[in-house]
Amino acid sequence: MTDTILNYLTNSSAITYIVLALLSIYLIITVWIFLYRYSTLNTLIKNEEKSLESLTSREATFLPISALNKCANNTNSKELLNACELNIIKEASVGVSWLAIISSTAPFIGLFGTVVGILESFAAFSTESKVAFSVIAPAISEALIATAAGIFVAIFAYTFHQIIVRKVYELNTYIKAQSQILIAKG
């Protein structure tokens, strides 16, 4: 396996290196965004869940750990609470767009690397009068590695995107519930 990878890399062109480097950067960005946003959102969700439980309990107090409370400054104005909801969700969803962009563009970047690899293979075979399938197949299979890398990155980016979007929705649910309780209390 290691020999195959090393052989592939030594026989690759500059375009292949660029494509694989870009996809590597995409993967690092994807993992970083996911880990950062996931941990941040889990903390926010726990705080909002505790605050909602406190609002619906006998105490009926608005906890200071709530992001909605920090933004609204203990006011029950419907307009201010709505503005705070939007601001919190906007901040919570930072990075989601990048995950969507990466998940949609990574396969195309990989496909570009594959097309260039196949074109280079055919150009190398153009000087020979007869080329057997046993010669063409390895060259094309090496070119397909770029597509596989692009799909690999896209799978993670799309999966992480869906997880983060779900977490943002969960946070939004807690915030909206708190806001409606506060507006109802006047």
**Matching residue, tokens 């601001």:** 87
A 10 A CB-CB count for 186 gives: 6
Which residues touch 135 (CB under 8 Å, ≥6 apart)? 125
> In the structure encoding, which two tokens stand for residue 14, read together?
């500059």
Torsion of the alpha carbons at 47, 48, 54 and 60, rounded to the nearest 10: 130
pLDDT reported for residue 5:
66
**Residue 151 above 90 pLDDT?**
yes
Instruction: Return the sign of the alpha-carbon dihedral for residues 110, 112, 115, 116.
Output: negative
* pTM to 2 decimal places: 0.85
pLDDT reported for residue 110:
93
pLDDT reported for residue 72:
78
pLDDT digits (tens, 9 = 90+) for 81-138: 889 899 999 999 999 999 999 999 999 999 999 898 888 888 877 777 787 777 777 7
**Matching residue, tokens 């950067």:** 25
pLDDT digits (tens, 9 = 90+) for 10-60: 766 788 888 989 999 999 999 999 999 999 999 999 999 998 888 888 777
Helix axes 133-185, 14-56, angle to 10 degrees: 20
